[in-house]
Structure 1
Amino acid sequence: MAVITIREKQPTETGFAASLIFEGGEYPINITDPFIPQQEKLLEWYFEEWLTYPMLNAQKAEAAKTSVINYGESLFNQVFQADINAYSHYRQLRLNLNQVKIEIVGNRYPLGKTG
């Protein structure tokens, strides 16, 4: 089974630096939050409130559902399309994604400390 690892390295002002690791290749990436706080609040509302009471605010819920797609596409681009060689590795694996494992490895930093 092929493994793709996303390993957090250190926080940055806007997110965190990480490594995208494939068998045979490692690529530096930077991850940032794709949304502004207002968009984050919409997702929070959608996942924490609307799914509990789905009969309310259908138009707002539809906007939130669409934003989930945009959020995911933005993160995908940050991870896999930041480097043409990394994207090439991904394209080779995507033909058999049921045989691919994705690991996300984070760091735990004490409050107020980084690195």
Structure 2
Amino acid sequence: MLARPHRLTRGDDYRMVVRRGSRCGGVRVVTSILTTSDAERAARFGFIISKQVGNAVIRNTVRRRLKAVCAELLPVVPQGTDVVIRALPASATASFAELRTDVQRCVTRLTRPVAP
């Protein structure tokens, strides 16, 4: 479970990350990451799971799995980073390990420093 300081809660924050952030897509999820200037703030995560994923039970299962994956990634994600994960319909039938692989691949790819 992600504690409140590690969650995106405002719609404006979601929009900013999705529009201005770097994006990495996969079969099951699309991950957007935006590094802010506030390096003292904890990394925050947000989730977008539409009705195309499935009914409420399936959507909540996917959301819980993604929250658990992000809780594991907290030490890896730099301070001041906002991450939004959009679940695609294929995530409904994905296992926890498959979701973790997709999210970890995107987060490590988007947060690694750029070589000069």
If each structure's strand is expressed as a fraction of its own residues, which one has the higher value?
Answer: 1
TM-score, normalization: structure 1?
Answer: 0.29
Q: Which has the larger radius of gyration?
A: 1
